[in-house]
Amino acid sequence: MTDPAPSLVWLRDDLRLDDNPALSAAAGRRAPLVVVHVLEANEGVRPLGGAARWWLHHALEALAASLAGLGQRLILAEGPAARVVPDLARRAGAGAVFWNRRYGPATVADDAVTTAVRQEGIAVSTFKANLLHEPDEIPGTDGGPVKVYGAFRRKAVALPPPAPPLPAPERLPPPVPGVDGVTLGDLGLLPRAPDWAGGLREAWTPGEVGARDALARFLDGGIDGYAAGRDFPAMPSTSRLSPHLRFGEISPARIVAAVGARAGTDTAKFLDELRWREFAWHVLGHVPRMAEDNLRPEFDSFPWSEPPAGDLAAWRAGMTGYPIVDAGMRELWHTGWMHNRVRMIVASFLTKHLLIDWRVGETWFWDTLVDADAANNPFGWQWVAGSGYDAQPYFRIFNPVLQGEKFDPDGAYVRRWVPEIAALPDRWLHRPWDASPLELAGAGVRLGRDYPEPVIDHAFARGRALAAFETMRRSAAAG
């Protein structure tokens, strides 16, 4: 009886040992093992933004350390996966290749890898790992996606619960000798000249241990009051698990297992947020071009404007003159993350106050968010803009002043990220232009110098946005 040929497991957005079906299946063959991550060229897979590249560097570093603790190695490579993966499998003499499935545009790229590996006479096995339910498990009409979240939720809840999460392996087969890759430094994932990632280093601990710690902190206190507190950016009522989920450092099944023993409104709301994430991936699985195309075709005729370049620059820099918008954009730049309520506010401001195409904002978030993924990022932008499925109504135009006063009533969030106006009284913090000259002077604020005047008047912007939506509606009605 001969020993089985080596196994190769290809890890992508599943950078963990715990609850990793592909890794467990490969290890179960008890044959020498190659564990590989490929930094893919742009063959159907969207290149990572700068913040995500920073996270990936540290996630790979953490994964390599975990594998080393079990006597294994992480092989790193770069290039088209349809060439690199079969080449590594051939060099290793592999008899089987394993990976966890991806969705949307990545499905086409992965199909090319499947074909190339099988042409080498090597078996391929793939697994569900990063969703509770894959896109085709919840059928829509006519083979398309479910377009309303309520209907999606009802169908998801009615499905059998996901399989219990797999434990992390206590041991792994030995590595295959003679199979090498490039170094982590060779991938060039970290920023240089300048190094803008200081705030990210302060805010995050990428890797599987960081994910487990974030979940533990959330369950130890953050989940209590989650339903009411999740909309208040100064409150510690969010899980901060999103980048760990994006890179697969923790699985949704593991989160559900940890949370599921609890009951109550807070737990139910948190699980609904996980289902909203699944809804976005469900849609992407059916509409791979969600980052490029309006989900609602009538928005193809929406009259997006070409505002002065300074307006877009002010939005990106957090210098619009609206404190809650500016606080969010500065939090994003400093930490690579933004509170979800504030994401909606800043996206509404860009698309409805400035009438800038949602794709411009989506691209900026893709480059600056550590948790930007191929589904939730464009899905969220289309929801706010009104062009998405089950989106907010076109006439819902967030008033940034009222949003700030409602969700940051004592100004703690704005004062942290917009310190130049921190001395203003609460009454004027979200509308500094309404303060008297004496009150501004007392707070050390000179509008137009220390802090900008608003780039646009809210009442004017709202009227202009409603007119633009009416133009679109008439155009759609006329065909």
- Each domain of the chain, given as residue ranges in start order, spans 7-129, 131-165+209-286, 297-474
Helices 323-335 & 309-317 angle (0-180, nearest 10)? 70
The pLDDT value given to residue 1? 44
Residues 234-253: b if buried by 16+ CB within 10 A, e if exposed = bbebbbbbbbbbbbbbbbbb
Take residue 184 and report the two structure tokens written for it. 């982590």
pTM: 0.96
The pLDDT value given to residue 270? 95
Q: Which residue has the tokens 């208040």?
A: 232
Euclidean distance between CA atoms 58 and 184, whole angstroms:
9
The pLDDT value given to residue 3? 65
Euclidean distance between CA atoms 449 and 433, whole angstroms:
13
The pLDDT value given to residue 351? 97
The pLDDT value given to residue 382? 97
Catalytically active residues are 273, 276, 304, 340, 358, 381
**Assigned CATH for 7-129:** 3.40.50.620
Identity of the residue numbered 372: A
Euclidean distance between CA atoms 288 and 374, whole angstroms:
9
In a structure prediction context, what are the per-residue pLDDT tens digits for the chain, which is 479 residues long?
A: 456 899 999 999 999 999 999 999 999 999 999 999 999 977 678 999 999 999 999 999 999 999 999 999 999 999 999 999 999 999 999 999 999 999 999 999 999 999 999 999 999 999 999 999 999 999 988 889 999 999 999 999 999 988 899 999 999 999 999 999 999 999 999 999 899 999 999 999 999 999 999 999 999 988 999 999 999 999 999 999 999 999 999 999 999 999 987 778 999 999 999 999 999 999 999 999 999 999 999 999 999 998 788 999 999 999 999 999 999 999 999 999 999 999 999 999 999 999 999 999 999 999 999 999 999 999 999 999 999 998 777 778 999 999 999 999 999 999 999 999 999 999 999 999 999 999 999 999 999 999 999 999 999 999 999 999 999 999 888 87
| SS3 at position 71 | coil
Fold for 131-165+209-286, please state it.
Answer: 1.25.40
The pLDDT value given to residue 309? 84
The pLDDT value given to residue 118? 98
Q: With beta carbons less than 8 A apart as the criterion, state whether 424 and 417 touch.
A: no
Nearest to 174 by CA among 7, 38, 59: 7
The H helix count followed by the E strand count for the chain is 21, 5
The pLDDT value given to residue 41? 77
Take residue 171 and report the two structure tokens written for it. 């041991």
Name the region of 215 (left: φ>0; alpha: ψ -120 to 50; beta: rest).
alpha
Take residue 473 and report the two structure tokens written for it. 């509606």
Class of domain 297-474: mainly alpha
Euclidean distance between CA atoms 400 and 380, whole angstroms:
18
Q: With beta carbons less than 8 A apart as the criterion, state whether 366 and 317 touch.
A: no
How many of the other CB atoms lie within 10 Å of CB of 393?
A: 8
Q: Which residue has the tokens 């411009």?
A: 360
**What string of DSSP letters covers 386-417?**
T-STTPPPTT----HHHHHHHHSTT-HHHHHH
